Amino acid sequence: MMRRTMAKTAFLTAGTLLCAACAAFFTPGCGSGGPEVGPFRYEFTATSGTLLRDLFLPKEALDLRVTRDFCDMPSEDEVQSHLKEVSGFDVSRLVRISRLELVEMVVTATSGSFDVVTDMSVYYLPAGDPADEVLLGTASSPTGFGDTIVLVPSGRVDFLELIQENDAYDGSECPKLRIEMAFDGLPSIDIAYRVDVALDAYAQLSF
Q: What's the pLDDT at 157?
A: 95
Q: What's the pLDDT at 176?
A: 94
How far, in Å, are 4, 42, 118, 183 from residue 108 at the CA level?
16, 18, 15, 17
**C-alpha count within 13 angstroms, C-beta hemisphere, residue 61:** 5
91: three-class secondary structure by DSSP: helix
14-18, 68-72, 77-81, 98-102: which is most confident: 98-102
CA-to-CA distance for 17 and 98, rounded, in angstroms?
13
Residue type, 202: Y
6-15, 16-25, 111-120: which is most confident: 111-120
Q: What's the pLDDT at 140?
A: 96
Instruction: Select the more confidently predicted residue: 165 or 36.
Output: 165
- pTM for this model (two decimals): 0.79
Please write down the HEC assignment for all residues of 123-143: EEECCCCCCCCEEEEEEECCC
- Tell me the Cα Rg of the chain: 20
CA-to-CA distance for 146 and 193, rounded, in angstroms?
12
pLDDT at 3 over 70: no
User: How far from the centroid of its chain's Cα atoms is residue 183's Cα?
Assistant: 24
**Residues 69-91: what's their mean pLDDT?**
71
Q: What's the pLDDT at 170?
A: 92
Q: What's the pLDDT at 27?
A: 47
Task: Return the percentage of the chain with pLDDT > 90, whole number.
Answer: 49
Instruction: Select the more confidently predicted residue: 153 or 82.
Output: 153
pLDDT at 16 over 60: no
pLDDT at 83 over 80: no
Contact 64, 56 (CB under 8 A): yes
**C-alpha count within 13 angstroms, C-beta hemisphere, residue 35:** 14
Q: Model confidence over 100-117: pLDDT tens digits?
A: 999 999 999 999 999 999
Residues in a beta bridge with 195: 47, 107
User: How far from the centroid of its chain's Cα atoms is residue 131's Cα?
Assistant: 20
